[in-house]
Structure 1
C-alpha cells in the first residue's frame, strides 16, 4: 500500500503497509506410503489428448489425506479461512503396500494422521513429524473388506473418533478410533453391490453413500439405519459433496449428469447434463460454485444459480478426483494422466501442476489448507505441505 497524495513526493517511496495476497504455489513431498496394489475406479474410454504444460515446482505424489491440529489465522477478511501461498512447498511420500483406491482418503483434525484405503483394508499413518523417514510403518490396519475388494471411500467424522469406510461390497463399516486398538463398531448394509463415494452431514448425524445402482443412500448414524434413498441417476452414482450448511447435496453419475438435492424436503432440485461421464465433483465451501471432473479430461466450473461456466483443459485424461480448499479460494484435481493440478476459484487459472509416476486416483486437502494428500496407482500415498 502506497501514499501517492503528495505530487512533490520523492521518486522512491516506502510502502505504508504490505498486504499478503494469494499468489502461486507448488508442492514438494513430505511422506510416501505404499499399499499392495492400486486399481483405477472405472475404465476411462477416452484417448488422452494434448494439453498445455505449466512449469511445476512440485514433485511426485500419491494418495492419502491429512489435517493439522489447529486452523491457521486468517490473513484477510473472508467467510472461511483466508490464506496466501508462497511459491514453494514440500512433500513426503509413503509406500502403502495394499494400494490406495480413488476417494479412499481421510484426514484427522486432532492430530496429523492420514488414512489410506486400498485392497481390502484401511491403514492409519502418523505424519506429524516432518523429519520422519521416507518410508513409514502404519500405526494400524483396519481389515474392512475381503482381500480382493477395494476400498472406494473413507470419511473421518469431525471429532476424529469415528471412520466410515465404503467400497466394493454392499456394506459400509463404522470404526471406533478412540479405543486403544481401532475396532469395527457397526455395519450398514444396502442392496447395492458397491459404494463409490461418501459424504457426511456437518452435524455428523447423517451419512450419504453413492451406490453402484445409481441410488443415494441416506443413513442415520446414531440409529445405524437406512432412512431414505434418493433415486434419479440411471447409472452408478460416482461422486458426492454437501453444502456447509447441510441443506443441499450434489451427486455426479456415470449417466453424464450432476444432480442437486434439497435435504430438507428430500427431493431433487436440478439436473445438469454433460457430454461425458462424471467421475468427480466438489462444491465450493464459500458457496455458489461447483467444479466437475469428467471422463473426457475436462474440468467444468459452473455457478449454481447463474449460467456462468468455465471449462478447464489442462488434464490429458480422465479427471478422477477433485477437492476444494476450506477457504474456497482454490481447488485441486487429479487424473489418469498422472497430474495433480491446483486451480483458482472459479475461473481456473493454474496455481501449480505436479506430474506423478502413475494415475492419481484420490486427493484431499487438510482443514487449514496447508496439506494436500494424493493416492496413486503405483501403490503410493503422498502428503504435500504448502508453505505459507
Structure 2
C-alpha cells in the first residue's frame, strides 16, 4: 500500500500537458452520505481532511491511499475545514447553533478552543502558512484575524460587502476580496492601517466571488466563484491575466478552483461531475477528466508534495497520473 503515491518533490518529471491528461481515478471513497463541502491537504502532503454536510470529518492517508479516521460534528455541523500546524488538529466553521469557529483535536475529538464573534455565516477561512494565526470572513461583512492561542479576535476589519481572504505564500500579507469587485492587500504587521493597495476589478454580474488563492510563487491570485467563471489576476498590479470558462455550474454553487504546486495549471470542479483543467499561462483548456462523480464536484485540490489530485462530490476520488512521463 505504501506504493500508492510517488513523491511529487522527488520526481524529476515536470507536470506537463501529457501528464495532466493521463490522470485517472486510482481510489474512490464512499463514506459520506451528503456532499463534501471542503477539503484540505496537510502541508507535507501525507494527509487529506474533508468535511461534509452529513456532519462528518474524514481524514485520509494519502501515502497509503486509505481512510484513516472519521470524526463526527453532529452538534455544530462543519464547513471550511483546515489542518493547523500542530499534529492532529484542525479548525472549522459551523453550520448549526451559531457562527463560532472551532479548534478541534482530531486525536480525541475534543474542542481545544472556540472563536466567537461573527454574527452571520462564515464564508472564508484560511490559516497562515507560517504561524498559528488565521483569517475568517463572514456575511456580517467583517474580516477577523485570530491567533489559535487566544479566543479573542486579534484584528477586525469592517468591509463594504461579503469578504473572502487568503494569505500569500510567505504569510506576510493577506488579500481580501470584497463585494466580488475589489482585492485589498494588507500587511500583517500593520493591517490596522488599512490596505496598502486596492485593485478594482469589474464587478461580477452573474455570480459572487467565493474563494481566493495565491499561487505558490506568489505572483498570481486565483478567484473562484459560484458561477461558470474563474479569474486569474496579477498579485502585484491587479491586472486581469486570464478568465477560465467552459465548465458548467448551473446550480449556483461555490466551486473550488486550485493551482498545481508549480502554478502552471488550474483545476476546477463542475456540476457535470468532471474536473476541468486549464493552462495558467495561455488560458487554454488542457483537458476534462471524467471520474464518474455522481454529483457536482465542489472541491478540487492538488497535493502540495505528491503527484496526486483529489476531487469530491459525495464521493472522494484520488487521482494519479498513468503516463510514462509521470513516472508511475
Instruction: Calculate the TM-score normalised by the size of structure 2.
Output: 0.80
Shift of 1:164: 0.8
Matched, 1:196 2:123: yes
Aligned to 1:351: 286
Aligned to 1:52: none
Aligned to 1:311: 243
The answer to whether the 8 A contact 2:47-2:60 is kept is: yes
Shift of 1:308: 4.7
Of structures 1 and 2, the one scoring higher in RCO (CA 8 A, sep 6+) is: 1
The answer to whether the 8 A contact 1:250-1:258 is kept is: no
Provide the rounded CA distance (Å) in 2 between the counterparts of 1:339 and 1:275.
Answer: 24
> Tell me, what secondary structure is at the counterpart of 1:264?
helix
Shift of 1:107: 1.9
> Tell me, what secondary structure is at the counterpart of 1:265?
helix
Aligned to 2:180: 256
Provide the rounded CA distance (Å) in 2 between the counterparts of 1:305 and 1:203.
Answer: 21
Shift of 1:159: 4.5
Provide the rounded CA distance (Å) in 1 between the counterparts of 2:90 and 2:198.
Answer: 31
Aligned to 1:140: 70
The answer to whether the 8 A contact 2:242-2:280 is kept is: no
Matched, 1:365 2:302: yes
Alignment of 1:123-162 (within 5 A): 123-130=58-65, 139-143=69-73, 145-146=75-76, 149=77, 151-162=78-89
Q: 2:102 aligns with which of 173, 190, 195?
A: 173
Shift of 1:126: 3.6
- Determine which structure has the larger helix proportion and give its number: 2
The answer to whether the 8 A contact 1:219-1:228 is kept is: yes
Q: How many residues align?
A: 302
Shift of 1:288: 2.0
Provide the rounded CA distance (Å) in 2 between the counterparts of 1:261 and 1:109.
Answer: 24
Provide the rounded CA distance (Å) in 1 between the counterparts of 2:272 and 2:120.
Answer: 29
The answer to whether the 8 A contact 1:176-1:182 is kept is: yes
**Per-residue Cα deviation, 1:257-312 (whole angstroms, up to 9, x for no partner):** 24223123212221433223112332211122122233441122222334352222
Provide the rounded CA distance (Å) in 1 between the counterparts of 2:200 and 2:5.
Answer: 36
Q: 2:200 aligns with which of 256, 269, 272?
A: 272
The answer to whether the 8 A contact 1:250-1:261 is kept is: yes
Matched, 1:106 2:55: no
Shift of 1:246: 1.3
Shift of 1:109: 4.8
> Tell me, what secondary structure is at the counterpart of 1:287?
coil
Instruction: Calculate the TM-score normalised by the size of structure 1.
Output: 0.69
Shift of 1:333: 1.6
Provide the rounded CA distance (Å) in 2 between the counterparts of 1:99 and 1:252.
Answer: 29
- 5+ residue gaps, structure 1, are 1-66, 77-81
The answer to whether the 8 A contact 1:68-1:112 is kept is: no
- 5+ residue gaps, structure 2, are none
Provide the rounded CA distance (Å) in 2 between the counterparts of 1:336 and 1:326.
Answer: 25
